[in-house]
Amino acid sequence: MSGISKADILGVTRSVTKKWTKQRKAEERGSSSRLFREYMYSDRVNCTDVVDDILPGAYNHASGGGQYSVAKRQLYYACREAFRKATDRPLKYNYFSTVLTKYLNQNPAETAGWKITADPRGTLLIPNAGHEVRIPCGTRNSQSPVSPEESSAYLAGSRSASGWLTCTLRTCAA
């Protein structure tokens, strides 16, 4: 072994096994690290690795080439099979929602024209309309106000003598 010293071999061996040694020592300290080893050293493909390849085509398909707005759940249905084929795991809706939000934030120029709506997350209850009035609050309901031509009813507010805002339901005259 002319030209290669013992220190050179030791240095190369340490640099190659550095990550493995760190993982092994962590496993000796705690059992959760042992479970993490399968994930750390596997050849798994993550959803975040393939999202750039899948989402633009899925949005294009679901929106009819950008003609229509797409509900987040519709987009999920349009791309979940592609994610399953690419990752060999099913895609859950809650995780898809997180991945989609991250993708939209990281690619603002590409997704600026995308029209993605969210399902209503709550209901606005009008207490003193004379009868129960519930208005769903979602992206589609709040993106633009409803014109009198589109709806037969809208809300009007006025201050009472005590200073409280009172909402009443009025019908629109065309």
DSSP for 118-131 reads: ----EEEEETTSSS
Residue 15 β-bridge partners:
none
Q: SS3 for 116? A: strand
Question: CA of 111: how far to CAs of 51, 59, 64, 92, 136, in Å?
Answer: 13, 10, 15, 22, 26
Could you tell me which of 125, 172, 120 has the C-alpha nearest to residue 146? 172
* pLDDT class of 35 with cuts at 50, 70, 90: low
- pLDDT tens-digit series, residues 105-115: 999 999 889 98
- pLDDT tens-digit series, residues 36-69: 666 556 667 777 888 889 999 999 999 998 888 8
DSSP state of 156: E
Q: Looking at residue 173, what is its pLDDT?
A: 37
Q: Where are the domains of the chain?
A: 6-40, 47-117, 122-171
Number of helices (H), then strands (E), belonging to the chain: the values are 8, 6
